[in-house]
Structure formats: C-alpha cells, structure tokens
Amino acid sequence: MVDLGLTHVALVVRDLKASIAFYEQYAAMTVVHRRSDGAEVQVAWLSDLTRPFAIVLIQAPGLNDTPLGPFGHLGVAVASREEVDRLVEQARAEGRRADGPTDSGPPVGYWAYIRDPDGNTLEVAFGQEVALTTQAAATRGGADLDDAFPEERG
C-alpha cells in the first residue's frame, strides 16, 4: 500500500505526554507510532483509526512553533450534540479555553473550539457534512465553483 493524498498534520508540543492525553481524551485518538532519538527528540503519531491520517506530535528542545489558531484548527466529528456539550464542559472544568458551542446549521453543524496544552485549536463538531460534500465532489470530479463563486468563472 502506498500513501496518497493528505496523510498528516504535524504540531510542535512542549509536553508530549500531556498532548497525547489531550488528543486521546478530546479527539478519540490513539498512539499508532512512537519514537525517540534516545536523548531529547520525541515523536508520536496519533490516529482515530477511521482513515489513513495522523496527527504527528513532536517534542524537541529549541523547536518552537506558532500554535494553530485561534481560528486555524483541527476538526474532529463526534457522535452527537450532547458529546460536543460534554467535551466543552469537561474542558472548562479542567481550566482549558473553550469557545462555543455554536449551531451554524448545515453544512457546518454544531461545533466548539477547545485549546490543547500548546494553544492549538481543536474543533469538536456534530452534523458537519464533510463526508457528503467530498463524496459529491469526487463523483462530479471536483467542486462546482460556478455556483458558489461566480466571480471565479473562466
């Protein structure tokens, strides 16, 4: 099997253990690969095991990066509106910044932002139509930009 398409997003973290715990708890992810250079560099790949995609977390001295957000974010679908509410309540109880929830209707759904230990933004959402939208675009051979963005017509 050969990887094709989008395979991962990499984030620099200060505390790998805390970041792993966050993504396990809030994004239902699990460690699928872990390595270290034996000294200072530690890497973990996390996946929700639903598709070939991973979040790569890297902890290394002197390696700093700007957090993803406040608007730029990773998005995770959850099973219900109640799950969005539960995760937001849990985050706030832990002293994490959480914005929302907000109901934006279709195709965006019911969503909230939760900050990870490094300030990266994770969106938890119910009712987004990403799978339906991408399936329809694949069937058509791409998005129909003529309807959505008439100014981009050739």
Q: What are the residue boundaries of the structural domains of the chain, listed by start?
A: 8-132
State residue 105's pLDDT score.
Answer: 93
pLDDT score of 73: 96
Amino acid at residue number 87: L
Q: Can you say how many angstroms the Cα of residue 94 is from the centroid of all Cα atoms in its chain?
A: 20
Tell me whether residue 125 is exposed, middle or buried, using C-beta atoms within 10 angstroms of its C-beta: 0 to 12, 13 to 18, 19 or more: buried
CATH 3.40.50.720 fits 8-132, yes or no: no
pLDDT for the residue 150 = 54
> What is residue 39's predicted lDDT score, i.e. its pLDDT?
80
Q: What is the pLDDT of residue 136?
A: 80
User: Residue 151: its pLDDT value, please?
Assistant: 57
pLDDT number for residue 111: 97
pLDDT tens, position by position, 104-113: 998 899 999 9
Helix (H, G, I), strand (E, B) or coil at 29: coil
Task: Tell me whether strands 8-12 and 54-59 are parallel, antiparallel or unpaired.
Answer: parallel
pLDDT score for 121 = 97
pLDDT in tens, the chain (154 residues): 788 788 999 999 999 999 999 999 999 999 999 999 888 899 999 999 999 999 999 999 988 888 988 899 999 999 999 999 999 999 999 999 999 999 999 889 999 999 999 999 999 999 998 877 788 878 887 765 555 555 554 5
Whole-Å CA distances, 122 to 30, 55, 75, 99: 16, 12, 6, 10
Beta-carbon count within 10 A of 122 CB: 24
